[in-house]
Structure formats: C-alpha cells, structure tokens
A and B are shown apart, each in its own frame.
Chain A
Amino acid sequence: MVKKKRKIFFIALFFLFASLSASIFSVCGEEKTVSEYEVKAAFLYNFVKFIDWPDGSQGEGKGVVNVCMFGSGPIDSELAKLKDKVVKGMRFVVKYTRSTEEFRGCHMLFVCNSEKGRLREALKAVKRKGILTVGDTEGFAQKGVIINFYLEDKKIRFEINLDAAREARFSISSQLLRLARIVKDE
C-alpha cells in the first residue's frame, strides 16, 4: 500500500515538476536565458525546505507559504507555475505587491530588479515581520537582503547575509549555508 502510494506520489511529483519547469519558461524572464528564472523559481521553492521561519511569524494564514513579488520581472511567470504546490505541508502562494503595505502576511519577498530604488523602503517594511527577503540584483545582499542570486560561471548561485538573517531571526540550515556565499552588511 505504502509503496503504491509512494509510486503515485512520485508520478504526481514528476508531473508537477514537469509542468513547473514548463511554466517557468515564459515568466519573469529578462534578456537572459529563460531557464535562469525557472531555476530561480525552483530555488525559491526549495529555500522553504531549508529555512525555518521565526516563531509566530506565520500566525496568519497557516498552512500557506505566501511568496510575494515586489515589482515585476521574468520570474513572475515561472513562479506562477509553482502556485499551490505544497511544501513543508504548506501551500505555495504567489502574491504580487505594489506597496510595502501589501507585505503583510508575506512569508517571502522577492525584490525584483525593477524595485532597486525602493529597496530601503521595502527592507524597512519587512523588519521584524518574519519575511524572508530574496533578490537577484548585485549588491542587494550587502544592503540587507537575506538571500541574493548571482551568476558564477554561468551557474546560478546565491549569497546569504547572515546578519540580516539573524536579525530577522531566521534559522537557515547549515546545508544551505554551505552552498551559499556569506556576505555582511556594508
């Protein structure tokens, strides 16, 4: 029974993954490769698994991971594909925000390159709110974004501002840390 269940699960996972990768292809893409955002979307999804949110931060909207998009970019479409996926027993929900007020209830905030100018405002808004900030613009991490994507040898890698993470009381899996480049505030 268990085996059968597992098998069905795998097949489901496979389909999910397949559909996910297909959807990533068209959304949040700049002039770079389409697959870059696809990967970044998957990363976002996977981060959930290695990061523990501070207690009480998810008081509202339990059973849901709200991924909020600040600004817009090619990643949007990719993220949309991940909608309603379950991770850690929670549903993956993507929200699009225009203003900082809309950050309430967000668990993760992806600051698009387009919102570079409003970064300080955004960071202020998320402070002590238990919102994991993620960016894909160079220098974001040093400015207080907890996780920031960058490219190295054409591979997507990410850096983590540990101070910011601690300040936000996130506990990040050592595994994840090992994979990341650790940066500090400027």
Chain B
Amino acid sequence: MRGKQFFRDVPIKQKLIYMCVITTAFALLLTSAVFVVYEYLTVRRSMVSELIAVANTIGKLNSAALVFGDRKESTETMKALSSIPNIVYAATYNREGEVFSEYKRTGFDGGANFALPPGDGYSFGITRLEVFRRIMLEGEAIGTIYIVSDLKEFYAMVVLYALFLLAIMVCALFGSYLLSSRLQKVVTEPLAELTTLMAVISKKKDYTLRTDVTGRDEAGYLARGFNEMLETIQKRDEELAAHYKRLEELVEERTAELADANKKLHEELSERFRVEEALRQSENMYRVIFENTGTASIIVEEDTTILLANTEFERLTGRSRSELEGKKSWTVFIDKDHIEKMLEYHQLRRIDPGSVPGSYESVTADRDGNKKNVIITVAVIPGTGRSIASVLDITNLKRLEEQLQQSHKMEAIGQLAGGVAHDFNNILTAIIGYGAIMQMKMEKENPFRAYVETIMSAAEKAANLTQGLLAFSRKQLIAPRPININSVVRDFEKLIKRLIGEDVELVTSFSEEDLTVYADSGQIGQVLMNLAANARDAMPGGGRLRIETSAAVIDDAYIKAHNYGKPGKFVLTVLSDNGVGMSKEVSERIFEPFFTTKEVGKGTGLGLSIVYGIIKQHNGYVDVESEAGTGTTFRIYLPFSGEENEAEEAVPAPKELRGGNETILLCEDDAGVRAFAKELLEQYGYRIIEATDGEDAVRQFTDNRDRIDLAIIDVIMPKKNGRVVYDEVKSIKPDAKAIFMSGYSADIIHKKGIFEKDIHFITKPIIADKFLEKVRQVLDL
C-alpha cells in the first residue's frame, strides 16, 4: 500500500523512469532465470554423463583385475581418478557386492558403506553427485563401480554465472535508466509545461494565460482542453465579478439597514439596561436606607407577620432575622399592657388614616421581659396591604427627660431657695442685727435678756435652715482657701462623734504627706457630716466608721476604670463603714437627688446629692464602693493645691471692735437691713451715704466720689445689680474699695459661686461684730 502511495506521489518523470527500469529488470530477471535453469540442467546433465563416462572407463579398465581378483592392480587403476579433481571417492564392487577396490581423495572422510543399488544410476545430491555403473565384460556384469564427485566446481560455476548475470543486469538497468531519463521528456515535457502554467495561473489568478503545447497526442488534447477551460473560467470570472459587484452593492444596502436596526436595538437595550440599573440602584438604595436608618424597622404583612426586618430590629428584639421573617407577628414584641392601645390605634388608622397621628408611643418587651420605650411610626406601603413600621427606642430619651425634669425640679427648688434665702436673710439680718444691738444695750441684769437670747437663737436656727437650702441647691457661696484636709477632719472629729453616737466607733488615720487642698473647710465639713450620717444609718446595730486621708494620683488607668477624672495629684479622703452595704443598683443611683432608701420622713434624699454637689464645686470626684452585707466605702478626691497653708491666720484674739470716721456708701434696697447697717456703722463713727437701688448707688458715688472711702454693695438690687454697680464704681474710681453683701450666690458676681480674690463679701444675715471687723479690715488695706 505504501509503495502504491509512494508511486502515486512521485512525478510522472520518475514514474516513467521507474517503469522502464522495472520492465527491464523484469525481462532481464526472467531471461536470467531461464538461462540459469537451462544452464543448471545442462551442466548437471553433462556432469552426470561425464561422470558416467569416467565410471565406465574405470570399470572397463578394472574388468580384468576384477575378473582375475587382482585388487592391487584394480586399486592401482583407480588411482587414475586423481587426475579428475572433482572425484572424491570411488569404489568397485565385485559380483558378490563386496568392495573390491577403493579410491579416496585425501581429505575425504566418507566410506564405502554404501548399499549398492542394483543396476545403473546416479544421485544428484546437494553436495555430491554419485554414479554407480555395472561393469560389463562380454555382456556379463562382473561388478559395479561407484563414483562420488563433489559439487564445488559446479557451485563455483553457478556463482560465476550469477555474478556474470548480475553484472549484466546492473549494466542493463543503468543503460535502461539513462535511456528512459532521456526518453521520458517526450512525455513529461508538455505535461511539465502545463503544470508550470497551471501553477502560474493559480498563483497570479490570471486566467488570460494560454498554453502553446500542441500535438495530436493526449498532451496536445489536454492542452487544448486546458485552454478551453481557461477560456471558460475567464468568461465566468468576468460574469462572477459583475455578479459580485452587484451583490456587494446589495450587501452594502442591507448592511446599512441592518446597522440602522442594530443601532436602534442597541439604544433600546441600553435604555432598558439603564432603567434596570436605575431600578436596581433604587432597590439597593431603599434596601440600604431600610437597613441603615438606625431605627429598628420592619415591613409587616396585613396579618402583622413580619416580612422583612433590619439589623436594628434584630438588636432591639434580640432575635435573628431568620427567626423573625415570615414567622413572627410583630405584636409579639409589644408589652402586654400596650397591645390593646396599639390595636386600637391600628383599627382607627384603618378606618381613617387622617384621624390618627403617624406615630405613637408604646412599650416593647424582649424575651427576657426587659421593657423599652419606643415610638412606632407606621406607614402603609401603597398598593399593598403591607406596612412599614419604624420602632425608635426612646428609653434613653425618656430617662434623660426624667433626669431633665429632675434637674428642673432641682433648679426650681434652688431658685425658690435662693429667692427665699435672699429675703429671709434680709429679714434675719434685721432680727439678728437689732437683737444684737438690743443685747449690747441691755443691762446684764435685764430680765428681758433671756427673751432676746431666745429670739437670737431662733434666728440663728432660721439662718442655718437657709444655709441648708442653699447648699443642696449648690447656690451657696463657698470661700475656698488652701487648707490641710487633716485639719478639717480633726476640726469635725468631735462633731462627727456626736453625730454617729456611742454605738459606732470612729477610727481616723492621717497621712503625714502634704494634703493641702483649695477648699471651703465648712463645706468639706458638711460633706464629712453627711457621709457620717449615712454610715450611721447603715449601722443600726453599731459598727466602725473609718476615716483615712492620703495623697493620691489619678492616672490614665484610673480614668479608664471609672470613666471620669483628670490626671493629676489629688488628696484622697476615704470613709468606710462595715454596715449593711447596698446593692449595685442602689449604689449607682446614690448621688441622685431625692433618691433615698430611707423611710419617708427619715431623710431628705438630699444628703449625698449635696455631697456630690459640693465635691463637684471643688473640682473633685466622689465614688462609692459597696457590697450588700459588708459595708460601704466612699472615696473623695480633691485636687491637690500645693499652696502653703495660710499661716493659720492668727486667730484674731477677741479684740476690741474698732470703728472709724471714713465715709461709706451703703447700697442696700432692703430698708430694714439698710437701717440696721447704717445704725451699726454710725455707732462706730462712720459717715454713711445711703443708696436705695443700683442706679441711686452709682449716682451717689459719682456725686461724692472724693468723699467715699468704701462702698458696701448688696448683690441683688433693683435697676442695677451689685456687679454692675461695682463695675461702674471701678470705672469712675479704679482704686475704689468695695464689700459685697449677699445671702446667696448669684452668677452676677462670680463663677460657680466662688468669689474673685480681690473682692470682699459679707454673707447675710449680717452678724454685727463680723460686719464691723470686715469693714475695718477692708478700709485698712
């Protein structure tokens, strides 16, 4: 098959050559074969006949010896065979068939063990030719001769023949090849020409070319056919070109139409994409809005089943979306007590949406029963029975609102207390002032003295009540100065002991460090008293109250742990008891105003709130640590001031009250107080210019600016308050001296109720000796 394929692929030229050569080879082979066979047979025959002749001759020559039994002679005769090289063995047999004589060529190792066949004959074997002949004498067989000839010569001749034939064949084939190489051109040249032309045409696509091969043979016929075909192709090409052109025009037309349609389609598609995209974005947007409003929102079916819930709603209810969506009715989360109200609302809404507001307050309850105040805003999604409900947790707002209310309440109480205190102090000033004057002027033996003293002590109690009111409203004036906390504690130790009673042991422990704070010692004392009272109430069966002082540092770790504080050095005062203690809930609210665990009437609910207020006013912190059953510990941090203790103002030994002849402008709207003050001061030699309100005070000062040495200004006055008066006085006469009088702190003159350092003031109710002393002190500056 491969040969066939190969033969198909070779050029015709080669094919022709091959054909010639193969034909020649075949003819030669056939001839040679016949020749060889003939020669073989001839040679064989001649060899056989030659050998037979030899056998006959030798037989003949041996006949006498055979007849007369002369073996020696016979053997001698046989030696004549040595002249024939092919013969390797010969033997004569006598009539009895015994070997009579032998001849062996040297090197031959066969023997005469040869079963003599009867008669004549030969055997042409592969390697040897054997001949046996009867020896005849006068028509009588007297024995047999047997001759063996090898075939070396024969084969040598065969080889020679073969070589000779091969040589002839090679020469003949070569000759045939040369000849056919020349002769094939006659056939192949026109074909090659045609082929080349065909190649040129198929390459250039030029169908105008023609072949010039002529002749009446097949090649010529092929050439004519080829030319005709080219003619046809050329014509067809031209037609095709025309068709093609027309088709192209048509296609162009159609393409344009198609492009148009395509463009329209594209526009439509992109429009649709745009719409879809917008829709998707819108959907996304609303989903994001729904998810991220920060308000718990749900979409509910008409039957109140939750369709969608957002993360905030999950948080609110403490349930995952998969637990909610499609499974729960949202009324499940409404507090039992509020469901009726809610259902009523929704019924109303269904009847007439305009009749009810869009939202309402309600209370939810999570699975642990924790309640939350919420505002539920409901809107019906148009075209569906669904509603969207936003549940806004206002629990914290509610609480803040309550706190604000509380704060407002406090503020109101403060305002009330301040207002009352102002007028009350003025009244008390008159009472105490005139009382004091009365005491001064009364004879010691005067029987009414006891009444006056009673009046005085009652007035003093009234004054204390005013102070208390001012304290919890944080409106009281404090006069801080650098003091050592240890000394404050020591000062109040006795009072505390008396307060806590004998059942409770007081243990104090003071640090030797510098514990100077900038504080109002009276206020701090009140703090201690309030806390001690609290401790006492916590230890109804007795116990131990411990007060310790130490230096402390508030660092970042502390701030982190307590969520408040400013880093820095502080003075720490710790009050701890081993009483009943309190729960966490209680301790968390302990500083809230009016929060009390005590029975009604036993406490005001203000004690610890006052503590908190005072410490705050001092820029300090107070915290509580308590455990029910083990006791309570309060820690008070006050900023360390580091200022030297004011040399324990040499307690002015009860000295003579000194007067003077200076001129004092007394600005006081309250007539009683003004009269009392005027009288008191005039008694001690001072000249008094009175002013009844702020404007009057300024006018008086302007008129008498050179005469006035000191202005005593009431803080709260009609028309112009004390602060304004003071500022105007200062602008007229910068070195003017002034003392303010006040019953409580108004923001007019100070911040946070603390006086500026160069401002002097006297608290109402005015105590005569303290008043005179202050006046003298300021005048002497």
Asked whether B67 is an interface residue with its Cβ less than 8 Å from the other chain, the reply is yes
Q: Does B73 sit within 8 A of A, measured CB to CB?
A: yes
Does residue B47 face the partner (Cβ distance < 8 Å to A)? Answer: no
Name the interface residues of A2-50: CB closer than 8 Å to any CB of B.
3, 10, 13, 17, 43, 46, 49-50
Q: Are B73 and A179 in contact (CB under 8 A)?
A: yes
CB nearest neighbor in B for A177: B64
**B68 proximal to A (CB < 8 A):** yes
Let me know if B138 and A179 touch, CB within 8 A.
no
Partner of B64, one of A3, A87, A178: A178
Q: What CA separation (Å) do A46 and B138 show in the bound complex?
A: 10
The residue among B64, B65, B69 with the most chain A CB atoms within 10 A of its own CB is B64
A43:B68 contact, CB within 8 angstroms: yes
Q: Please report the C-alpha to C-alpha distance between residue A178 and residue B60 in the assembled complex, in whole angstroms.
A: 14
Whether A98 is near chain B, meaning CB under 8 Å from some CB there, is no
Q: Is B63 an interface position by the 8 A CB rule? A: yes
Q: Which residues of B contact A171 (CB under 8 A)?
A: none
Binary interface encoding of chain B residues 53-95 relative to chain A, with 1 for a CB under 8 A from any of its CBs, else 0: 0000000010111011110010000000000000000000001
Q: Do most interface residues of chain A lie in helix, strand or loop, or is the interface mixed?
A: helix
**What residue in chain B is nearest A49 (Cβ atoms)?**
B138
B379 cross-chain contacts in A, Cβ below 8 A: none
Q: Is the beta-carbon distance between A13 and B61 smaller than 8 angstroms?
A: no
By a CB distance below 8 angstroms, the chain A residues around B67 are 46, 49-50
- Are A175 and B141 interface neighbours, CB within 8 A? no
Bound-state CA distance A173–B141 (Å) is: 18
Question: Separation in Å of the B190 CB from the closest CB of chain A?
Answer: 74
Picked from B70, B119, B137, B141, the residue with its CB within 8 Å of the CB of A179 is B70
- List chain B residues, Cβ under 8 A from A10: 141
A38 to B571 CA separation, bound complex (whole angstroms): 181
A13 and B140 within 8 A (CB)? yes
Q: How many residues of A contact B (CB 8 A)?
A: 18
- Contact between B138 and A87, CB atoms less than 8 A apart: yes
- Say yes or no: is A176 at the interface (Cβ < 8 Å to chain B): yes
Q: Give a binary string over A40-71; 1 marks a CB under 8 Å from any B CB, 0 the rest.
A: 00010010011000000000000000000000
Does A116 have its Cβ within 8 Å of any Cβ on chain B? no
Q: Does A88 contact B (CB under 8 A)?
A: yes
Chain A residue at minimum C-beta to C-beta distance from B77: A178
What's the Cα separation between A179 and B71 when bound, in Å?
A: 10
Complex: how many Å from CA A49 to CA B65? 13
Which residues of chain A come closer than 8 Å to B138, judged between CB atoms?
49, 87-88
B141 to chain A: which residues have CB within 8 Å? 10, 13
When distances are taken between beta carbons in the complex, the residues of chain B under 8 Å from A43 are 68
A50 to B141, alpha carbons, bound, how many Å?
Answer: 15
Point out the residues of chain B lying under 8 angstroms from A3, CB to CB.
Answer: 119
Select from chain B the residue with minimum beta-carbon distance to A3: B119
- Closest partner residue, chain B, to A176 (CB atom): B64
Per-residue B-contact encoding for A133-176, CB less than 8 Å = 1, 0 else: 00000000000000000000001011000000000000001011
Q: Once the chains are docked, how many angstroms separate the CA of A88 from the CA of B139?
A: 8
- Evaluate contact between A175 and B65: CB separation under 8 angstroms: yes
Note all chain A residues with C-beta closer than 8 A to B64. Answer: 50, 173, 175-176, 178-179
CA distance A66 to B298 in the complex (A): 169
Contact residues in B for A176 (Cβ distance below 8 Å): 64, 68
Q: Indicate with 1 or 0, residue by residue over B128-147, a CB within 8 angstroms of chain A CB atoms.
A: 00000000011011000000
A145 CB, nearest partner CB in chain B, Å: 18
- Residues of B close to A179: CB separation below 8 A: 64-65, 68, 70, 73
- Give the residues in chain A near B70, CB-CB below 8 Å: 157, 179
Q: For residue A173, which residues in chain B have a CB less than 8 angstroms away from its CB?
A: 64
Please state if A49 and B68 are interface contacts (CB–CB under 8 Å).
no
Instruction: Give the distance to chain B from A160, nearest Cβ to Cβ, in Å.
Output: 12
Interface residues of A in 98-117 (CB under 8 A from B): none
Which B residues are within 8 Å of any A CB, using their own CB?
Answer: 61, 63-65, 67-70, 73, 95, 119, 137-138, 140-141
Given A50-B67, A87-B138, 14 other A-B residues pairs in contact with their CB atoms under 8 A: A17-B95, A43-B68, A46-B68, A49-B67, A49-B138, A50-B64, A157-B70, A158-B68, A175-B61, A176-B64, A176-B68, A178-B64, A178-B73, A179-B65
Closest 6 CB pairs of A and B: A175-B64, A46-B67, A49-B138, A179-B70, A179-B68, A176-B64
* A-B pairs with beta carbons under 8 Å apart, 9 shown: A10-B141, A46-B67, A46-B68, A49-B137, A50-B67, A158-B68, A175-B63, A175-B65, A176-B64
